[in-house]
Each structure stands twice: as C-alpha cells, then as structure tokens.
Structure 1
Amino acid sequence: MKNILLACSAGMSTSLLVSKMKEAAEAKGVEASIWAVAQDKAPKEMEKADVLLIGPQMRFMKKKFSVIADKVGIPLDVIDPMAYGRVDGEAVLTKALELMEE
C-alpha cells in the first residue's frame, strides 16, 4: 500500500486531483491511499505518508516541509503546475511513485 499525501493552502483545491489520482491508481492496479490536507495539517500527516506532494501555489513552503520530511524519512516535491492545472491524476500519481522509488 502506497500512502500519498498532497498538501495545499486549504486542502480543497487538491480534492479533485485526489479523485483523479485514485482512478489512475485503480487503472494501474496500484494499491494506494491518497489524501489531501491543508498546509497546517501536513506536518502531522507526513508521519503516515510515504511521499508528500505540495500544490504549486505553495512551492514557497517546500524548504519548511523538507526539514520535516527528512526527519520522517519521506521524499517530497512540488506538483507540476501543468499537471495540477489539467487535474492530470495519472501524471501526478506517476511522479509520486517515482519519488518513492528513488
């Protein structure tokens, strides 16, 4: 089971992306728990995640979250703005899976 956490300003704008990622995971036969939270809940939620993806509008938070992610031992990156804007669940899922394998 892959645990994929998305963080954005309020946890709302990524909800549609989470749905699309779940669809893509099912189509690929990947067992994944995918959820989104607001930025203030992300540090606590990272403890349950295998990877953290940050919404492009929050790229300024990457450094702060990197410190916590390093302690917890998970990779993180900013979601590609094009994939985010297109709500491309498959592309974002693929990125998350790649980060977990590095």
Structure 2
Amino acid sequence: MKKILLACSAGMSTTLLVSRMREEAKVRGIDAEIWAVTQDQAPSEMEQADVLLIGPQMKFLKEKLSKIADELETPLDVIDPKAYGRVDGKGVLDQALALITK
C-alpha cells in the first residue's frame, strides 16, 4: 500500500484534491491511502507516510519539513502549482508515485 500525505495551510484546500487522487488510484488499481493534514500536523503524520506533498502556498516551509523528512527518509516535494490549481488528481498522484519509486 502506498501512503501519500498532503499538507496545506489549513488542511481544507487539499480535500478535493485528495478525493480526485483516490478516484484515480482506484481507476488504476493502486492500493493507496491518501490523506491531508494542516501544516502543523505534517511533522507527526509524516511518520506514517511514504511521501509528503505540500501545497504551493507552503513552499516557504519546505526547508523546515525537509529536515524531518530526511531523518525519516520520506520523500518530500511541493505540489506542482498548475496541477494544484486545476485540482489534477492524476497529475499529483503521478508526482507522488514518482517520488516514492526514486
């Protein structure tokens, strides 16, 4: 099972994105747990995740979260702003899967 964590400022703007990513994973037959949290919850939730993607509005936190992610050996990246703005579940799922398989 792939465990994909998304984090954004309040945890609300990623809710629809998570739904679309789950739909896409189901269509592809990918066993995935995908969930979203607030920026404050991200460090503790990262322990359960295979990858962390943060919302573009949180780009300023990437360095801070990367330190934790490096210790946990959890890949981390900023969600592509275009995919985020389009709520592109397929594109963001592809981004997460690519990071997991690196």
State the TM bucket, normalised to the shorter chain: over 0.9
Kindly state the Cα deviation for residue 57 of structure 1 after the two structures are TM-superposed: 0.5
When normalised by structure 1's length, the TM-score is 0.99
Question: Could you say which residue in structure 2 is the equivalent of 1:23?
Answer: 23
Query: 1:100: Cα distance to partner?
Result: 0.4
Q: How does 1:1-102 map to 2 (within 5 A)?
A: 1-102=1-102
1:55 Cα deviation from its structure 2 partner = 0.1
How far apart, CA to CA, are the structure 1 residues paired with 2:29 and 2:94?
A: 13
Q: What TM-score do the two structures reach when normalised by structure 2?
A: 0.99
Q: What's the offset of the Cα at 1:9?
A: 0.1
Q: Alpha-carbon deviations, 1:61-83, whole Å to 9, x = none?
A: 00000000011111010000100
Q: Distance in 2 between matches of 1:71 and 1:46?
A: 11
Counterpart amino acid of residue 20 in structure 1:
R
For residues 95 and 30 of structure 1, what CA distance do their matches in structure 2 show? 14
CA distance in 1, matches of 2:86, 2:28: 20
In 2: Cα distance, 1:61 partner to 1:72 partner: 17
Structure 1 segments, 4+ long, off by >2 Å, are none
Alpha-carbon distance, 1:12 to partner: 0.4
SS across alignment from 2:37: strand
Identity among equivalent pairs (%): 68
SS at match of 1:53: strand
Aligned residues: 102
